[in-house]
Each structure stands twice: as structure tokens, then as C-alpha cells.
Structure 1
Amino acid sequence: MAKTQDFNAIMKDFMGAFPVDTSSMDEAFKTQADLGEKLSAVAIDAAEKSAELTTKWTKDTLSKITELSKAKSDPADYAKAMTDFASAYAEMSAENMASFAEIAKKVQTDTVELMMAAGKDMTEEASAAVQKATKDATTAAKKASTSN
């Protein structure tokens, strides 16, 4: 009977012939985790500010509705109260939408800055990894040529 080859041993020998330096992978993981943490902080800060703004807007609206819902002695006062409410609500809406836009603008600016910094870091890490790999390959090639 024919004996089957042990492919596990062949793969083990094959992979052992190509040692892998995982330090660059470790650095890439750390960089990615760091970026994720910073981006999360930006998103959480924006969510907090948006929640505060929404709460304030709701409270202001409810106080205006309280005024609107009070009984009036003259029917014309109801029309005036409704007009005053609509005017105040339009003004509040414009102010609050501008505030939401400022929050979004800050998120966009912070995100772009983080991505630019991360790109710079990744480029530097990749460059260092390529330089190290080139050096290691050169050293291995020199050893191989001198041993022949």
C-alpha cells in the first residue's frame, strides 16, 4: 500500500522557512484601536450635546405651550397667543437648528483631523515595516549567498 504524505509536516516546514514578524500587526491593531477610541469620543460628545439641546428645546416649547393653553377673556387673545407661539417657535427652531449644525460641523472637523492623523501614522508605520522587511530580506540574501 502506498503511504500518504503528511501535509501537516510539509506546511509546518514551509511556514517555518518564512518567519513572520508580528510586531507590525500589533502596532496596526493598536493604532486602529486608538483611532476607534478617539472617533467614539467624538460621537459620544456630539450625542451628549445633541441630547442637551433637544432637552432644552423641548422644555422651551412646553413653556410656550403652557402660555398658549391658558384661558383668555377675549377671543382675539387666542389668535394673538397662537401667533406669538408660532413666532416664538419659529425663532427657537432656527436657533436650535443652527446649534445642531454647529455640532455636526464640529464632528466633521474632528473626524477629518483624526483621519488625517491616522493616515499619517499608518503611512509612517507602513514605511517602517517596508524598511525593516527590506533590511531583513537583504540580510537573508547575503547569508544565503555567503553560505553557498
Structure 2
Amino acid sequence: MAPKQQDFAAMLKEMMSAFPVDTKAFDDSFKSSATLNEKLSNVAIEAAGRSTELSAKWTKDMLARAAELSKAKAEPADYAKAMSDFATYQAETANEQMSAFAEIVKKAQMDTVELMMAAGKEFGDDFNANVQKAQTAAKKTTI
């Protein structure tokens, strides 16, 4: 008589049922991650939009100044003055524009830090709640 073969599928199923897994925690984690990614993407997109608007405004302004610079002048000294005025204006506005870009970056950085701090707090709260559930479940199984 041949020995009876063990049903490994049944054994695996029995073993897995002894260690129940709450998939709700995985679902909640995925949803939290997706929400955080959405918020971080919005911060980046907003910063990129503001940066683009600033660049476009600065470019239009510089092109208008360049158009003034390219106009015909009556005297050769007027060309030198126009070039000097253009260079002076460009140097002055470059500092202002860089400051404006820095403000955009600063706001994006602060928004990102706020989101990460909130996510860290939420993660800590969820972790503590899951530890409490696990401890409660462990106590129930040992009693």
C-alpha cells in the first residue's frame, strides 16, 4: 500500500489562517501614500507655474527694453546711453527676479516640510494604533 501524500495546499492554507492579515492597513497605507504624493505634486506644480509666470514676465520686459535699445538714434552718444540704461536696468531687475524665484522656492520648501511633518505625525499615530491592536490581539490569543 502506497503512503498517502500530504496535501501541501491544505497545510499552507491552514498555516495562513493561523496568521490573519488585516489588509485594511495596507489599503490605508496606499491611500495615505497616494494622498501625500498628490499634495507634493501640487506643491511642485504650483511652484513651476509661478516660476514660469515670473520667467515669462521677465522675458517680455527684457524684450521690450531690447526693442527700445534697437531703435535708431540721432546721435552716437545716444546709443551708448541706451546701452548703459539697458545694462543698468538688467542688473537691477536680475536681483529682484532672483529674489522672487527664491521666494517661490522658499514657499515650496515650507509647504513640503509641512506636508512631511503632517505625514510623519499621521504615520506615527497609525503605527501606535496598530501596535495597540497587535498587543490586544496577542493578549487575546494567550488568554
Same-fold call, TM cutoff 0.5: yes
> Which residue number in structure 2 is paired with residue 43 of structure 1?
44
Instruction: Specify the SS of the correspondent of 1:113.
Output: helix
Q: CA deviation at 1:28?
A: 1.4
What CA distance in whole angstroms lies between the structure 2 residues aligned with 1:78 and 1:58? 22
Instruction: Specify the SS of the correspondent of 2:73.
Output: coil
> Which residue number in structure 1 is paired with residue 69 of structure 2?
68
> Which residue number in structure 1 is paired with residue 101 of structure 2?
100
- Provide, for residues 67-89 of structure 1, a one-character-per-residue CA deviation record: whole Å limited to 9, x for no partner: 11001111111111111110111
> Which residue number in structure 2 is paired with residue 145 of structure 1?
none
Instruction: Specify the SS of the correspondent of 1:19.
Output: coil
Alignment length (residue pairs): 142
Alignment of 1:93-132 (within 5 A): 93-132=94-133
> Which residue number in structure 2 is paired with residue 57 of structure 1?
58
What CA distance in whole angstroms lies between the structure 2 residues aligned with 1:99 and 1:4? 75
One-letter amino acid of the structure 2 residue matched with residue 18 of structure 1 = F
What CA distance in whole angstroms lies between the structure 1 residues aligned with 2:60 and 2:98? 16
**TM-score, length basis structure 2:** 0.92
Long gaps (5+) in structure 2: none
Instruction: Specify the SS of the correspondent of 2:19.
Output: coil
Long gaps (5+) in structure 1: 143-148
Q: CA deviation at 1:3?
A: 6.6
